[in-house]
């Protein structure tokens, strides 16, 4: 694949695209348009945050994919105006010398989110078409990015991070493609999906990565609503009524560690299932995935 860097004019257009007066994203975030029409028949918006010195420094950079991209940089597009401010958090950590700079590629989600972010068919919710996201990212987007931007290759330099169903998707994409993703961020992952198919997969230990993944795994203590009674719940929901999300996260972290993966598990006291809570924990995730290693 021949490297054809994105022209300065094209990068300037990508900076200006869809920047409203109330946008809060940094000037070095590029709007690359929609990807997926060719690979999966759907168009999902992709944005790219480049390190501040990208155009002056000629070195290649690690790459982090972040799901639910509409929430990552910009309060104008994020859910309830609660952006993660990943661009600003990255730049602050780099300025303080806590991480080496890396590129962040975000992929937006829409009405098809439950369909695209889930690895199996849930008996109640359906879904189960994560293979389409895999096709979009690995078959279409990743080659396009690597052909136009200076990016380091190898799983040790490539990560994927998401929250809720996005955290679930990030893990399964890395588990199934350890030759492409070596760094994983699972923030409040929806382990309830398909009766914790994730833990069953790890316990089965069939087809898992031969090389260890480096994983950030977290959950907030105020995310689990198991104490709420629902007398009208269908019998099919009884398993979910008894499901303890916090314990499931802790158990998953232990199971992954037993199998040799490098896991940092965090239970955040008082944290809810919100964009604001994930923003608070994002610096820790960045440090674990991209900071100095012992």
Report yes or no on 153 lying in a domain. Answer: yes
> Of all residues in the chain, what percent carry a pLDDT higher than 70?
89
Tally of domains within the chain = 1
Write 220-223 long-range contacts (CB < 8 A, 24+). 220/188, 220/267, 220/268, 220/269, 220/270, 220/271, 220/272, 220/273, 220/277, 221/246, 221/267, 221/268, 221/269, 221/270, 221/271, 222/270, 222/271, 222/272, 222/273, 223/188, 223/271, 223/272, 223/273
Report yes or no on 119 lying in a domain. Answer: yes
User: How much is the average pLDDT of 56-79?
Assistant: 86
**pLDDT tens digit string along 193-207?**
999 999 999 998 666
**pLDDT tens digit string along 115-155?**
999 999 999 999 999 999 999 999 999 999 999 999 999 99
- Show the domain range for 80: 8-290
pLDDT-derived band at 22 (thresholds 50, 70, 90) equals confident
Report yes or no on 1 lying in a domain. Answer: no
Cα R_g (the chain), whole angstroms: 19
pTM for the complete prediction?
A: 0.91
Report DSSP state, residue 109.
-
Report yes or no on 3 lying in a domain. Answer: no
């Amino acid at each position: 694949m021949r490297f054809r860097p994105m022209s300065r004019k094209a990068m300037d257009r990508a900076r200006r695209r869809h920047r409203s007066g109330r946008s809060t994203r940094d000037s070095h975030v590029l709007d690359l348009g929609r990807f997926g029409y060719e690979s999966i028949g759907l168009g999902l918006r992709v944005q790219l945050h480049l390190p501040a010195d990208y155009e002056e420094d000629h070195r290649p950079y690690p790459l982090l994919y972040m799901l639910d991209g509409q929430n990552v940089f910009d309060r104008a597009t994020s859910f309830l105006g609660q952006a993660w401010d990943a661009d600003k958090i990255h730049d602050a950590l780099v300025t303080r010398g806590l991480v080496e700079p890396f590129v962040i590629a975000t992929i937006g989600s829409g009405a098809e989110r439950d369909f695209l972010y889930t690895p199996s068919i849930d008996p109640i919710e359906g879904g189960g078409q994560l293979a389409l996201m895999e096709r979009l990212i690995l078959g279409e987007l990743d080659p396009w990015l690597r052909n136009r931007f200076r990016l380091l290759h190898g799983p040790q330099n490539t990560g994927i991070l998401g929250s809720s169903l996005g955290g679930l998707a990030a893990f399964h994409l890395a588990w199934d493609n350890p030759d492409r993703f070596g760094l994983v961020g699972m923030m409040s992952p929806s382990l309830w999906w398909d009766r914790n198919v994730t833990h069953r997969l790890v316990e089965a230990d069939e087809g898992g990565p031969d090389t260890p993944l480096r994983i950030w795994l977290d959950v907030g203590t105020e995310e689990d609503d198991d104490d709420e009674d629902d007398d009208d719940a269908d019998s099919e929901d009884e398993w979910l009524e008894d499901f303890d999300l916090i314990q499931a996260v802790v158990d998953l972290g232990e199971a992954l560690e037993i199998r040799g993966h490098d896991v940092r598990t965090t239970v955040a006291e008082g944290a809810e299932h919100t964009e604001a809570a994930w923003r608070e924990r994002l610096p820790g995730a960045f440090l674990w995935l991209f900071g100095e290693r012992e």
